[in-house]
Amino acid sequence: MFAFNQQKPVAIGCDHAGFDCKEQLLAFLASKQISFTDFGTHSKDSVDYPDFAHPVAQAVESGAAAFGILICGSANGVAITANKHAGVRAAICWAEELASLARQHNDANIICIPARFIQEGMAEKMVSIFMETAFEGGRHANRVNKIAC
């Protein structure tokens, strides 16, 4: 089951600290025949994370992307940046349960992964869970509806 619109690509981006993780996730998405738009970065050269977080968040905000994946060293920078966009709910996840709860309870539409703090293979597991988990609505919908300023 895919909780997001499969007709739209996944928006993905990272900074230099998340580059290797992003490359692994691109291979994972391709292996599952899930289309994506790679907003970079495209090397391990030092870059500024907002330059990649904003385009991913804009794609999610505009509806051009089904959901987003952002990766940096701690995930804090990309999450803070993405959450400046209206309608974006970017959640930092470093464990499978957090990826599930971000969707179930918060209707998160961007998963932010801390590349320096996860084990090999965890990003793929979390993205799978994030993609497959539906928002529960109900009491959570009331809370999510209060987020926007």
Residue 99 within any structural domain of the chain: yes
Q: Model confidence at 149, in pLDDT bands (50, 70, 90)? A: confident
Residue 4 within any structural domain of the chain: no
Quick check: is 21 catalytic? no
User: If DSSP codes are grouped into helix, strand and coil, which group holds residue 136?
Assistant: coil
Quick check: is 72 catalytic? yes
Residue 3 within any structural domain of the chain: no
% residues pLDDT > 70 (the chain): 99
Range of the domain at 24: 10-144
Residue 132 within any structural domain of the chain: yes
**pLDDT over 60 (residue 1):** no
Task: Report how far residue 84's alpha carbon sits from residue 71's, in angstroms, rounded to the nearest whole number.
Answer: 17
Residue 78 within any structural domain of the chain: yes
% residues pLDDT > 90 (the chain): 93
Q: Considering its fold, how many domains does the chain have in total?
A: 1
Residue 64 within any structural domain of the chain: yes
Residue 2 within any structural domain of the chain: no
* The predicted structure's pLDDT at residue 24: 98
CATH number at residue 63: 3.40.1400.10
Cβ(120)–Cβ(140) below 8 Å = no
Residue 100 within any structural domain of the chain: yes
Q: Check 14, 21, 72, 93 and give the catalytic one.
A: 72
What's the alpha-carbon Rg for the chain, to the nearest Å? 14
Q: Model confidence at 33, in pLDDT bands (50, 70, 90)? A: very high
